Amino acid sequence: MFRRDPLQQVGRGAPLERQREVPEETPIAFTYDRTTFAVMMASPSDLEDFALGFSLTERLIEEPDEISALEIVDLGNGLELRMSLGVARSEELTLRRRRLAGPAGCGLCGIESLKAATSPPPHVSSDLRVTASTVFDALQGLGNHQQLNATTHAVHAAGFWSMRRGAFIAVREDVGRHNALDKLIGALERAGEAPDSGFVVMTSRISIELVQKLATHGCPILVAISAPTALAVREAENAGLTLAGVARTDSFEVYTGRRRIVL
């Protein structure tokens, strides 16, 4: 989703009047049994995937069917994803609820304690192995699925490359990198795709929340076009995740989990 805005392009010569396609960004509230848990700034698309993926990666639920109902409500000044949970899960959520107002670049804003920000994710023990050439194929092909970015040049993408199919089976875009990953994970869960049947490629830097979300999902390999933070590398090592960054169509850097990359 995007709109066209007028602009003035300034260069060495006379300024030019142009238009630019800019991506939409809107507040999206996640509510469970009518109680707000988080508010994220995100692209208003693939919201069913977003609701499920966020709920899973934030460890609010363990299985998709724990969400008994989902309603998307347009409130005029934002969107609300109204979800219903079972009694036991709802009571558990009440005990650990946090309110989060997160800008697009931040996936951990609003957490109530330092301990919560660095809570260790599950360990990933998958034996999946991929060749370097397969990673290059995925990097080469991701751009073909980035329709919104091709128009706006302003959003991130997260794609899942299936080893069985030898192609991307899902790609999601968003103004926030962590939102794109949540949407992707939600799409994979809804499709019943095993998390260790492929790997994730992203068009962003690698920060700790991406590592935590992917490890929680159980996917063993994350490839991204930018570099990781030091904390993300440590978290990936502890989680048994393979982390590859600064990825191009002819090279990439492997920071952790080298055993899964076949040279």
Residues 104 and 196 in one domain: no
pLDDT in tens, 173-187: 999 999 999 999 999
Instruction: State how far the Cα of 125 lies from the Cα of 110, in Å rounded to an integer.
Output: 31
Q: Are residues 169 and 99 in the same domain?
A: no
> For residue 77, which phi and psi values (nearest 5 degrees)?
-100, 10
- The answer to whether 219 is a known catalytic residue is no
Per DSSP (E only), the strands in 63-147 are: 67-74, 79-85, 101-102, 130-131
128-169 tens-digit pLDDT: 999 999 999 999 999 999 999 999 999 999 999 999 999 999
Q: Give yes or no: residues 252 and 148 share one domain.
A: yes
95 belongs to a structural domain: yes
Q: What is the mean pLDDT of residues 231-251?
A: 96
Domain count across the chain: 2
- Say if residue 255 is in the same domain as residue 161: yes
In sequence order, what E strands does 2-133 have? 2-9, 16-23, 26-32, 35-42, 67-74, 79-85, 101-102, 130-131
Is residue 193 a part of any domain in this protein? yes
Name which residue leads in pLDDT, 110 or 81: 81
The one catalytic residue in 22, 47, 79, 106 is: 106
CA-closest candidate to residue 107, choices 241, 12, 213, 184: 213
Same domain, 73 and 149: no
- CATH at 184: 3.40.140.10
Q: Given the structure tokens 């989060």, which residue do they identify?
A: 100
Tokens describing residue 91: 């009571």
- Tokens linked to 191: 């499709």
Which domain, by its residues, includes 31? 26-117
* Contacts (Cβ under 8 Å, ≥6 apart) of 44: 1, 24, 26, 28, 79
Q: Is residue 139, in this structure, part of any structural domain at all?
A: yes
Same domain (yes/no): 134, 90: no
Phi/psi at 162 (nearest 5 deg)? -85, 125
| 230 — pLDDT class (breaks 50, 70, 90) | very high
Share of the chain above pLDDT 90, in %: 82
